Structure 1
């Protein structure tokens, strides 16, 4: 291997020699993988079932690459230096996810995350060894940058209304192109259209753009060839423009933070160039931002757009910036080196401009947030900036997520609640009825998933890699520093942004980060580790065998999971096109053989079996369906869809008591689910009323008490929601509904508490007495008032005038004794 690394004790080099065949296979495979991966919906982490197959496909490809790695590096595997043991250390990360299976909230999602973390470990190990070679490093770095630029142009094609053209270019290998259109490259929400490109989430795209904007600036200042400088400079405008089009406030906030940190690693001449290129890119982008933004908004809001005009702005200004950058690198950069040579030699010289930049950023932020300067930006972008404050709802919501994550951690402190736990478990711990399957913080979500043990392993690993990289960087000459700085930029940018968002939930982003960490670790000064040193002749076959066996297991598991997903998809298609029960059933049975806890297979098979029972009343269908759901719930005890299907099955069978038990026993898992509590209250009343009719007073009291407890839970929740900070949105609906009030009021009345019943019924009373449900509430309310010695004459007169027979109904209710 070549000697590109910083330290004195490094791997040997084959600089200038041809790469061995196995290394070529590994290198080409990794290139293809990096090109394929981002166009599979950003490879989401499996919390969305539609993205399962590409995710498992990524694990399968990673497993094959690891087998090639063993062949390529078999003779060089040894465990006597720090770098080698770092490759072992990274395996502790997926092991913590395996341990989290013990207490996993969902075995299904937890297993998905085990596979993903194994993929990350594989990419780190491959990067650690492969990128020590200068030639391989150059090829992979070029591939990553090229893919990033393609993603940027793909996003802008979609923004300017050429989505079908862009999708046609990738449709032959992307599973995310549906009916000729990539799925959701543009978000449309309350803020208008927002650019998301391949990630389907604008904030993650902003983090990605931020990282590669800095990569492009670095590449301009590093490149010696004019055309390379021009290409990277050309891409500055599309990337800055795309950041603005994401409307990501987090991206705009973290961009200067990362910029200042990166400046600390540059000598003064390079710092000046970075600042200069950033200013040029910013000013040039602002000059065209409004017309390009307007053109995209017109198209995505259903109006006729003019893509040629938009591309004219983008390409023209980008070409101009490319020329300017070439001139700066040709004539200005060398003089800057000369002028700042003495400055650079001074102690802490690289701190001065970063400090000045901090002051400049603060001043610019004040001007943008507090003056009319923000109006130079397109309207919706300016409005987003205007809304940045400590009481802004998205910040308050994130803080709520983090507090709720701490609640989860208290219940699952050591090994966590398993991979994907937040998506399954957050409703039990939520402070208000928000809907978020992500905790919007990589660190907080990681804590939820693998607990204190897992976070210690991860943070220690990251800290060690960063420490070794920075230490080597400080002591290296500039030519060696430049070889691996791209990886540092990508990893630092994404991880910092991920402190307040879920970028790492995208497998492609995680792949970039761990491959980048591998690149950083490849520079490591690799000292001998005497205490852990093992003779390579003895450990090599054992270590290789472990990696091969692990890869084969991953290969086998990911293949079965892909087959399970394929069978589910085929079964769902057959449900709409075929009436052959056995044909449809066979697909779901096959899926569950491959993966017993596949929730999509369970839920769709349940629909099929329940339909069979409804049509034939054959008990075997009922028994099959009941076993299917109860077995699945044991492995996925927070799956609300499965509970709802089980409730529906019990109701279909005429077993309301069992449906009630499911509602009551699991209400604590869904503390702000209004529909769940409404069903529980209604079911409690109906069962209590039936018990009352049978004279079973104890049973009546049991049902009524649980119904009234559920009602009180809702009342308490509504009161709590009134205490939310002014800027924070409540989230979903959560209130005392008329149905809740009616049934709770009836239960209180039938427990001989008419005054309390009247107070409850009044909350559900609406003004329209023509509505039968509202009239029933009024009837019970007036009866409760009369029985408790009160009255509401105006309401009584209005009701009797509408229907004189209501007088007798109220009197009959008043005379009832329970």
Structure 2
């Protein structure tokens, strides 16, 4: 009996051990899957476009539904925390808003995205459930950011041809947008600086130093002014969040990285704009090597600082801070003469430097400068200076330009008056012709009636590349990008007033802004994440995001106040700073519209939730020694996962069919294209553009075959397209053209007029309307119906008044198109003949 009992116990132990190993293996598989889902998105154009993001949603859904099944089998809860419910409330707000959406397709798309973000959040919360796993996840995110930086730098050096990664002298990297690249790299640069303090291994610290240099180097040459301005404040937050005895470390390591980067930064422009941009790689290696060495050596200094008294440590920080401030001051104030020149063998080309100066409106100023110019070959001019006024919208108006032909050395002055709406001046120094040169040694500006009120103009920064210097010069709330963003926000509130409670659904701004804009601009983003949520989901969504942020802040605060070891505090500091960094920059740009950034953000929030859960003695209440398990939530996650999987794969399939249809249309294979568009519509019935394309191919076939049934089907599809996107002026114009082409004049005019109504500041829309009236008038005239002809030709002429009326309300009026002028003049001439 004893032998049997022992054997039974042995079998049970083996079964339990096997079961434990299986569970461990399953968790590792899911954890690795999670790491891939978090790390890879930045490399697919930031997951901004549907053809990359929709399959990702489908794959994430598959992982989540399998994970939910296992959780149901093991009776382990997925949703337990206040932060969980807060995250779900935002999904709920987007789901509700789809029932009130002005564009149901984009609303569904945004809802799917938020479901995906919350899936990532839930998985991180439950899978990254100890310090080691959190540390690994943070390192994977840092490596992902490091890879983004590498792609950007190697694109600038010409080694990588990633479309849109290096444009206009700015690093956009895989996000194809410089400001988002800057935001992403900045956030995980902070995480990197925290992780340097996590490890005690000095060689690993050196590796972190290399990562930090590459991130910092690429971050600088995104030339993102907003990210530059935020950096010191966010870094201060990181220092505050770091544990005692570790607060000094990130700052000292940052100084080391900045020093190591200084020479590569100075060399960047001359190399990438020179004949051998590949040489940038050498400077990347130099900076990386110096960063590794400095970080390694600094680690000994840090050890020494940690061993001495607190007062001495603070004194060292103060001294380093003062020295750093002095160094920064020297970098930002040290100047040298500005030389612009063209050699004898150099073709004529515009070389210029622009500097911005804040001034008073409606006042007389004097620009005084010391110059040396050479024009030995008697070119048109040796140098020029243009002075532009910039108003609230940063719109330029030229108020003075001077072109000096003679060779000259000495001091000159230019007197000018600012305008009544002048907020600042843009002063541009120019050289254009070969075999000419100019050197501006000094320049300053002052009011004519107050010569003592002098402003020095930084002609050339001694220690900064010109593209960095020019961006620093243009940091201002009245800069073009800043003033334009403020206008977006004003126009956004106009939309909110009309859709206050539930919003206008996901993608509200892109669908509606043309109707509400104060002047004609083109942007599908609000450049403010919180404004976007407000427009998408109204007061309901605003309450949800406030609930979410409050729950998040409370979780971070409780963790900060809790008893934790220094390593947990470092993990908390890194995650919290990363979250603040991403949200802060998203408040002034559209970073979170690139889903890769939002996935990373929700992963960081999941880390906070995971740490909160681990602080509790039990994740669920215990009754009589057993955990109370509510499986309904897990089943809900499972069902949502299945639904989202099918929808995302269906939409993804529709996209592939539509792309195939587009390629067939280009080869004039209308019949086959129609079949592909039909499939696209069946898989994505809410997509207005697919329906319009399907309707247009049907109409083309019907016109050839004279098939009335096909023509009716074409009309139905094109009408459905406009019904799905009623504020899309392009679709309305296309439907109007269809009706006009098929003899339904009243309906045709109705939808061409609608195109004007939903986008009233675009001159081409008025051109289309005038053209429609003109052609209808000519049709009636050819059929000898002079009364009707006169009616429509008069309407064609009256479009000019409609345009002028709308244009007068614009803060930036646009001229009438030349084609419209010809149409209006033609209509007037014909009317004279009729009368």
Instruction: Compute the displacement of 1:326 (Å).
Output: 0.9
Structure 2: give runs of 5+ residues left out of the alignment.
1-19, 335-355, 357-456
Instruction: Give the Cα separation in 2 of the matches to 1:629 and 1:623.
Output: 10
How do 1:550-565 residues align onto structure 2 when only pairs under 5 Å count?
Answer: 550-565=640-655
Pairing partner for 2:276 from 305, 309, 313: 305
Instruction: Give the Cα separation in 1 of the matches to 2:818 and 2:162.
Output: 44
TM-score relative to the length of structure 1:
0.77
Pairing partner for 1:123 from 104, 120, 124: 120
Pairing partner for 2:54 from 27, 36, 56: 56
Instruction: Give the Cα separation in 2 of the matches to 1:234 and 1:364.
Output: 26
Partner of 2:286: 316
Which secondary structure state, in structure 1, belongs to the residue aligned with residue 110 of structure 2?
helix
Question: Taking structure 1 as reference, are residues 358 and 160 closer, same or farther at Cα in structure 2, changes over 3 Å only?
Answer: closer
Instruction: Give the Cα separation in 2 of the matches to 1:284 and 1:414.
Output: 53
Instruction: Compute the displacement of 1:38 (Å).
Output: 1.8
Q: Is the 8 A contact 1:260 1:358 kept in 2?
A: no
Instruction: Compute the displacement of 1:741 (Å).
Output: 5.0
Instruction: Give the Cα separation in 1 of the matches to 2:138 and 2:242.
Output: 20
How do 1:702-741 residues align onto structure 2 when only pairs under 5 Å count?
Answer: 704=794, 708=798, 710-721=799-810, 724=811, 730=812, 734-738=814-818, 740=820
Instruction: Give the Cα separation in 1 of the matches to 2:604 and 2:463.
Output: 37
Which secondary structure state, in structure 2, belongs to the residue aligned with residue 20 of structure 1?
helix
Pairing partner for 2:716 from 627, 632, 651: 627
Q: Check if 1:92 corresponds to 2:54.
A: no
Partner of 1:171: none
Instruction: Compute the displacement of 1:207 (Å).
Output: 0.5
Instruction: Compute the displacement of 1:376 (Å).
Output: 2.0
Partner of 1:597: 686
How do 1:131-210 residues align onto structure 2 when only pairs under 5 Å count?
Answer: 131-163=128-160, 181-187=161-167, 192-210=168-186
Partner of 1:212: 188
Which secondary structure state, in structure 2, belongs to the residue aligned with residue 162 of structure 1?
coil
More displaced stretch, 259-268 vs 409-418: 259-268
RMSD: 3.6
Partner of 1:806: none
More displaced stretch, 33-42 vs 426-435: 33-42
Pairing partner for 1:327 from 297, 309, 329: 297
Higher strand share: 2
Q: Is the 8 A contact 1:89 1:461 kept in 2?
A: yes
Question: Taking structure 1 as reference, are residues 739 and 328 closer, same or farther at Cα in structure 2, changes over 3 Å only?
Answer: closer
Q: Is the 8 A contact 1:574 1:584 kept in 2?
A: yes
Instruction: Compute the displacement of 1:262 (Å).
Output: 2.1
Partner of 1:547: 637
Instruction: Give the Cα separation in 2 of the matches to 1:416 and 1:350.
Output: 53
Higher helix share: 1
Q: Is the 8 A contact 2:105 2:687 kept in 1?
A: yes
Q: Is the 8 A contact 2:243 2:566 kept in 1?
A: no
Pairing partner for 1:244 from 220, 227, 236: 220
Pairing partner for 1:424 from 511, 517, 529: 511
- Cα distance per residue 1:765-807 (max 9 Å; x no partner): xxxxxxxxxxx6xx99xxxxxxxxxxxxxxxxxxxxxxxxxxx
Instruction: Compute the displacement of 1:588 (Å).
Output: 1.7
Instruction: Give the Cα separation in 2 of the matches to 1:195 and 1:528.
Output: 44
Instruction: Give the Cα separation in 1 of the matches to 2:264 and 2:681.
Output: 54
Instruction: Give the Cα separation in 1 of the matches to 2:574 and 2:243.
Output: 16
Question: Taking structure 1 as reference, are residues 268 and 609 closer, same or farther at Cα in structure 2, changes over 3 Å only?
Answer: same
- Cα distance per residue 1:246-285 (max 9 Å; x no partner): 1211121121221222222235754433233323322332
Instruction: Compute the displacement of 1:239 (Å).
Output: 1.7
TM-score relative to the length of structure 2:
0.75
Instruction: Compute the displacement of 1:343 (Å).
Output: 7.9
- Cα distance per residue 1:464-498 (max 9 Å; x no partner): 11222133123334222123333222211111111
Structure 1: give runs of 5+ residues left out of the alignment.
1-15, 45-50, 164-180, 299-303, 725-729, 750-775, 781-811
Instruction: Give the Cα separation in 2 of the matches to 1:268 and 1:358.
Output: 22
How do 1:769-780 residues align onto structure 2 when only pairs under 5 Å count?
Answer: none
Instruction: Give the Cα separation in 2 of the matches to 1:365 and 1:316.
Output: 21
Q: Check if 1:255 corresponds to 2:231.
A: yes
Which secondary structure state, in structure 1, belongs to the residue aligned with residue 169 of structure 2?
strand
Q: Is the 8 A contact 1:52 1:562 kept in 2?
A: yes
Instruction: Give the Cα separation in 2 of the matches to 1:687 and 1:385.
Output: 56
Which secondary structure state, in structure 2, belongs to the residue aligned with residue 500 of structure 1?
coil
Instruction: Give the Cα separation in 2 of the matches to 1:90 and 1:141.
Output: 21
Which secondary structure state, in structure 1, belongs to the residue aligned with residue 170 of structure 2?
strand
How do 1:222-301 residues align onto structure 2 when only pairs under 5 Å count?
Answer: 222-266=198-242, 270-298=246-274
Instruction: Give the Cα separation in 2 of the matches to 1:55 and 1:67.
Output: 18
Q: Check if 1:33 corresponds to 2:37.
A: yes
Partner of 1:491: 579
Instruction: Give the Cα separation in 1 of the matches to 2:76 and 2:99.
Output: 33
More displaced stretch, 310-319 vs 131-140: 131-140
Instruction: Give the Cα separation in 2 of the matches to 1:354 and 1:517.
Output: 33
Question: Taking structure 1 as reference, are residues 529 and 334 closer, same or farther at Cα in structure 2, changes over 3 Å only?
Answer: closer
Q: Is the 8 A contact 1:689 1:700 kept in 2?
A: no
Question: Taking structure 1 as reference, are residues 230 and 249 closer, same or farther at Cα in structure 2, changes over 3 Å only?
Answer: same
Instruction: Give the Cα separation in 2 of the matches to 1:429 and 1:570.
Output: 35
Q: Is the 8 A contact 1:78 1:534 kept in 2?
A: no
Instruction: Give the Cα separation in 2 of the matches to 1:712 and 1:351.
Output: 68
Instruction: Compute the displacement of 1:297 (Å).
Output: 3.4
